Amino acid sequence: MQLPTRKFTKFVLSENGLSQGTPDEVPTEEPLEIRVRGKSIAVIMRTPGHDKDLVAGFLATEGIIQRAGQIIEMEYCQRGEEGASENIMNAFLTSDAVFDEEKNRRNLYASSSCGLCGKATIEAIHQNFPPVESREQIDKAVLFSLSDKLRAAQPMFDKTGSLHGVGLFDFQGNLLVAREDVGRHNAVDKVMGWALLKGRWPLPGHVLFVSGRLSFEITQKALAGGISIIGGVSGPTSLAVEMAQDSGITLFGFSRGGQTNIYSHPHQIRV
């Protein structure tokens, strides 16, 4: 799927002065309102495209659903005679998918500035998503290859330089799916939603690899999918490391040029 862009005029400022204006493509960013049974639960800024994957992944990684069968239908909402609005999506869930507004409001970790409180927050998350237990190992050479493989699967980054990328790999280093978005959490949810809707959920024996920083929210979403190894091109936050340590997740960062830093549970890597 070709993700949408918009064209703007660009002027380059250098030691030689200001260049003439030239067209430049910029990735589109628009809000997506997510509704459950017609009730709004979240508004996410995202790059339009793979919206059903995004919504399914969001619902799963936030603990609202546990399997794809709990989604009856996902459709864009109708806006009178104007047709469907592609910025509002309604998810119809089965009766056993119980959406508790107060409970889920506390559990929706949409921003790293929302006042997370360390160990107490991790313990609360483990009530919904228990720590992973994995004895599988991945070869170090596979880890070293992931950065280049994800980079090769980011066509919109080549075009705009402005999108985050996330890839899901098996332990042999095969790229199963890659998604791009202006929001790194959205790209993660698109990958997780793809896996859910393809019947691959949960995801033991897989690696989640991101093009940027490893945040607490990304670690939490990986845990929701049962992923035991996550890594990235950039480094982690302190709470991401604590989350990984307490959740049985191997977390590695600054993975580039045949080198990486391991921050938790190195026993899952075959050295």
Residues that are catalytic: 114
Which helix (H) or strand (E) covers residue 54, if one does?
helix 51-61
Which amino acid, one-letter code, is at 171?
F
Distant-in-sequence, close-in-space partners of 189: CB < 8 Å, separation ≥ 6: 53, 54, 55, 57, 58, 61, 221
Q: Using CA atoms, how far apart are residues 105 and 21, in angstroms rounded to an integer? A: 46
C-alpha pair distances (Å), 220 with each of 40, 93, 115, 130, 241: 23, 23, 15, 11, 11
Strand partners, 261: 253
DSSP assignment letter at 223: H
Q: Residue 243, exposed/middle/buried by CB under 10 A (0-12, 13-18, 19+)?
A: buried
